[in-house]
Amino acid sequence: MLKKAFFIPFILFLSTFTFDKLFLLDSFPIYYLTTGSFINFEHKEKLIFELKEYLKQSKEKRKNVLVIMGNSRSMSFDNHYIEKNFPEWTMFNFSVPGGTQDYFLYLMEKFKKYNIKPEAILFAVTPQGMNLKPAVLTDEVMVFGLPPEFIIRKFYYYKVDEITNYIGKKLFVVYKYRPKIRVIKSRLNDSNLLSFINFLIKTEMVLEQNRGNVPSHIEYKPSVSEEVLEKNAKSIWKDFFTPFVLNKNSLYFVEECIKISKELNISKIGLFWPPVSPQLKKRKRNDKVAIVYQDHKKIKKTVYEVWTPEMINISKKYNILWLDFNYEMPLKCNYFSDASHLASICYDEYTDKIFTSIGVKK
């Protein structure tokens, strides 16, 4: 009787697991996938080796390299613009949608393994990516970008629900991709299917041609109205900042990235805070949603009060750059495609700010 009690759940699990794998057969995934984000992560594995080979060349035959590790707020730089205005430099961009510091550490461990030493490296940091208590869990980076081996080694630095979610999505395709009938139904139309396939091909091609960048002139992002920005900012604030509890484990990942950069003797290292809309900046500076404990009492502060000093302290501790493109050195160009993404028209100034900040003259 006891054997039967164990046997039935095992058969149910095995049957479910087997049925789930049918969603991976042949070309079936293109009928239910709703994003091409996974291509960004696959490309970064290739980009590591492209950078490694590029740096093997003598300094006379190659340009200086700036490596960017960030998120969607730092993906749209343009190497054509960079090499025209800063002719001795090029950029290898390892930014991915939702990029966080644990993924950067995974990449930096690869840099250390292959002795990859660019002339400069900048890590994007955002309070949104360091909130321990967001209302909406974002797991794209962890699920698509980090292998089990890394998660096992860094097990201590993740929450239990993050680990269980990771295991579930690695085991079950249906849980990972959440296929929707309406999407599958739409893709049965040949024109819709072809359009999505072309989108995937274009994404991969653009990433390969531009060393990880998705230049803004290729994927134009117009500015939107103040009303739309306010509505979007309100939604982001509710989903990702209310409440805000600083994740100390994120600070660990930041410091480990810096330590490896120092070990590799990379001459210019920095943290940078990508620009966001005035609607979000106002909330970060004024709204007291950040929870901290002082003298065993729970008090509330602003996100800016809690998060920014930590970034500044880390920068001072390791004697690296701190580039705050929101409050300390904001861009003059103030247009946004949504509350947290700079509009395409501003990327030239954004690029200039990045390079002049690391001491490169235009």
Per-residue model confidence as pLDDT tens digits over 290-321 = 999 887 889 999 999 999 999 999 999 999 99
Q: Write down the pTM of the prediction.
A: 0.88
**End-to-end C-alpha distance for the chain, whole angstroms:** 78
Quote the pLDDT of residue 23.
Answer: 42
The per-residue pLDDT for range 118-138, each reduced to its tens digit, is 999 999 999 999 999 998 877
Q: How far apart are CA 152 and CA 219, in angstroms?
A: 37
Quote the pLDDT of residue 34.
Answer: 65
- On the question of pLDDT at 106 being above 90, the answer is yes
- On the question of pLDDT at 210 being above 80, the answer is yes
Q: Regarding predicted confidence, which is higher, 180 or 281?
A: 281
Task: Tell me the average pLDDT of the chain.
Answer: 87
Quote the pLDDT of residue 290.
Answer: 95
- On the question of pLDDT at 20 being above 70, the answer is no
Q: Which CATH architecture has domain 2-140+181-357?
A: 3-Layer(aba) Sandwich (3.40)
- On the question of pLDDT at 178 being above 90, the answer is no
Confidence of residue 249 (pLDDT cuts 50, 70, 90): very high
Q: How far apart are CA 7 and CA 185, in angstroms?
A: 37
Q: How far apart are CA 144 and CA 323, in angstroms?
A: 28
CA distances from 153 to 38, 106, 150, 156, 157 (A): 23, 11, 5, 8, 9
Quote the pLDDT of residue 17.
Answer: 43
